[in-house]
Structure 1
Amino acid sequence: MQQEQISQTKSRVNDDFLFCFVGRWLGIRVEFVGNCVVLFAALFAVIGRESLTPGLVGLSVSYALQVTMSLNWMVRMTSDLETNIVAVERVKEYSETETEAPWTIDDKKPEEGWPSKGEVELSNYSIRYRPGLDLVLKNLSLKVKGGEKVGIVGRTGAGKSSMTLCLFRILEAAEGIITIDGVNIAEIGLHDLRSMLTIIPQDPVLFSGTLRMNLDPFDKYSEDEIWKALELSNLKKFVSSQTEKLDYECAEGGENLSVGQRQLVCLARALLRKTRILILDEATAAIDLETDDLIQMTIRTQFEDCTVLTIAHRLNTIMDYTRYTQQLVYFN
């Protein structure tokens, strides 16, 4: 933690130094321009000495001498305005950001134990990223039975990852509905929906803090359950070798862990939650084949009775899946 604070302080000092350096650089150039104005005013006064009166010459040189100060002030004010207006831009941007749906809806809560089967159905589903843009998914219909392992493949930009955003309602429907075990996900609160889904993303998300906090931020699981998840995700040996054990400090973004270890931490989270629906969004695209095999083996054994939707980068990861869903997205 102390090392992280020192690193942050150094970064801020470097940023402040760069800001001061740019200010000095700008001041020298502005003064040079002002001095050039004075020089040319004096030269024109000498060249036109026969036609200019002494009073006019004195007035022009006097005003030219003030140009440096005025020009310096004007440029600095313009620079400060450009820097500070960013804050106004951010406030305006956030004030215009559309608010998400309610976190919970008391009269629309799903039944206890939902979803029990893990059936997912998309009916004529269409989405767009923002109003006025073209549809990313158009009239998509798909039914996944509970416990099925479905591979989703396609070219880059075809809309595979957009399906993930739909299931978590990060993107809302333009048309159609998604149901999970017969419940329309658009009618329930976001917390009730998202707490029942688990995702292992391509870019693992880790926060600055202990490994325990990253695995179980709400203290819902016992230490034995956490160690069991670490064992199943093949991280137990690494964590046991650390002096702090579960209190091992993770840097922001997990920078002190390898890419494979970060992904295994995400797998351990999924093992702790053990929801009926698991989504893998190209989870093994950026890791080595050995770690890929470890993750796939764990998913096959520990999520055998769960519905698994895998957006695949390597086809060998979905070769033994129940179904392969290709070319799901159709564009005009």
Structure 2
Amino acid sequence: MSFYDTTPLGRILNRFGKDIDQLDIQLPVMANLFLELLFQLLGAMMLMSAKMPLFLLGAIPLLLFYFLIQKIYLQTLRQVKRLESVTRSPVCNHFSETLAGLSSIRSYGVQKEFTDRFDVKVDTTQNCSYLLVVCRMWMTARLDTIGNIVVLLVTLMVVSQRGAIDDGLGGLLVSYVMASCYAFNFLVHYAAEMETAVVASERLDEYANVKSEAPWKVLPEPDRSWPTKGAVTFEGYGTRYRPGLDLVLHGVDLAIHPGERIGVVGRTGAGKSSLTLSLFRIIESAGGKITIDDVDISSVGLHDLRSRIGIIPQDPVLFSGTLRFNLDPNGMYTDADLWTALERAHVKEHFPGGLDTPISEGGQNISLGQRQLVCLARAVLKKSKILVLDEATAAVDLETDSLIQDTISKDFVGSTIITIAHRLHTVMDCDRIIVMANGMVIEEGSPSDLLLNPISQFASMARDAGILVNADS
């Protein structure tokens, strides 16, 4: 997953747009034309050599001239094309980011600033495109000059030997020379373009060889009922986001009992979300292990692991399609099950159009609170023994927060619930609080015990949030 953290979207769009177009369309077309012109040229040269052997003496230096021009042209073309490709990625990236943040751009009235930035990026890539055209014109001018000189020389040779060469044959030779020069020009052009187009295959091959995630399926698969208890254990666990970076979790030792409600708190950058990412193996272990019901999750396929754990993320993810598709993309549940889940998530009344209500990309046609409740309905439908709330209520209003907490308390009785908390009041009813700092567990205990300890980090955070007095009372 680190690939998506380090690779701009514009670069990916550029690779899968322009590069694939070059490889799938332009390269085969140019290769076909190159071979066609090559055979035409060979045929013409054989005919001219048979009727005028002296032509071979002139053809050798001619080929050397063409080769020299192609070599000079190719060196420049390769660099200019690389510049054009590099400058095109920021254009794609800026365009995609502008579309994603269009509502914010209009709200703050900064359309002109974004338009000006886009103009600068387009001008930069157009400058490179102009240089590309100039390079091609440079080569064309020189090839045409050489071709005209060759036609002139052959014409003079034919005229000088008009007694030995038939007039019709002489005209044929001159016309063949003109056609050959034309073919030579395009032959050099296509050869250079093909060589630079091959660079696209190298760039795509780089993406094809990007290290992928762990296997989607691993045999033997875990039991269908796994996990039956919901016990989660971290044993000396450490992880980092990418090789070469510092550890974001250091030697975490944590035992979460079946059915326990755990609240994970900490300042920004403490490692709370990294704990969640580790549980889903979005980032892999750099030491230690995580077990669920005594099964090491590193021995389980990603599909089995992620499908057995429920999550309500901070940023709800919805896809373009119907409400039914967003709740049950694989068609595993009945309509009655879907309606029950929506009702328990307190979101049924928001969709009078039924399960076929259209949902736009990212759920932009419904409110943030409704998106979060749809994600809650997914979790209710799944009935997982382990539920992760990754700051699920951090960006919603208090009413939606209350609805989510009410549904969780009623529908996930007996399930292990891990709450990554932004608002401390959401974890006050948890069985145990885990306080993290610098990627380590620094405190753990019941909310009341930690609040009664005036020097505890949790008590300090509660005082900052203004809820310690309420907790003491």
User: If the length of structure 2 is used for normalisation, what is the TM-score?
Assistant: 0.51
Quote the Cα distance in structure 2 between the aligned partners of 1:317 and 1:150: 11
Question: Displacement of 1:94 after TM fit?
Answer: 2.4
The equivalent residue for 2:407 is 298
**Which residue, out of 109, 121, 129, partners 2:241?**
129
> Of 279, 302, 310, which residue of structure 2 is paired with 1:167?
279
Identity of aligned residues (%): 54
Bigger share in helix: 2
Q: Which residue of 2 aligns with 1:322?
A: 431
Unmatched tracts of structure 2, length 5 or more: 1-95, 100-114, 132-196, 442-473
Report the AA paired with residue 236 of structure 2: N
Cα drift, residue 86 of structure 1: 11
The alpha-carbon distance between structure 1 residues 24 and 117, as it changes in their structure 2 partners (threshold 3 A), is closer
CA–CA distance in structure 2, aligned partners of residues 24 and 161 of structure 1: 39
Once the two structures are superposed, the pairs formed by residues 1-332 of structure 1 within 5 Å of their partners are 22=123, 91=204, 94-107=207-220, 109-240=221-352, 242=353, 245-327=354-436, 329-330=439-440
The 3 A distance-change label for structure 1 pair 180 and 26 is closer
How many Å apart are 1:136 and its aligned residue? 0.6
SS in 2 for 1:199: strand
> What is the SS of the residue equivalent to 1:310?
strand
* Bigger radius of gyration among the two: 2
Check the 8 A contact 2:271/2:440 in 1, yes or no.
no
Q: Deviation at 1:185?
A: 0.5
Which letter does structure 1 place at the counterpart of 2:375? C
Q: Which moved more, 1:250-259 or 1:188-197?
A: 188-197
Instruction: Give the unaligned 5+ runs of structure 1.
Output: 1-7, 31-83
What is the CA distance between 1:112 and its match in structure 2? 3.1
Give the Cα–Cα distance (whole angstroms) in 2 for the partners of residues 161 and 86 of structure 1: 40
- Which letter does structure 1 place at the counterpart of 2:218? I
Report the TM-score when normalising by structure 1: 0.72
Work out whether residues 271 and 436 of structure 2, in 8 Å CA contact, stay in contact via their aligned partners in 1.
Answer: no
Write the letter of the residue equivalent to 1:101: A
Kindly report the root-mean-square deviation, in angstroms, between the aligned alpha carbons of the 2 structures: 3.0
In structure 1, the residue matched to 2:168 is none
Residues in 2 aligned to 1:89 and 1:202: alpha-carbon distance in whole angstroms: 38
Alignment correspondent of 1:76: none
Aligned residues: 260
Indicate the structure whose relative CO is greater, using CA pairs within 8 Å and at least 6 residues apart.
1
| CA displacement at 1:176 relative to structure 2 | 0.3
Q: CA deviation at 1:199?
A: 0.8
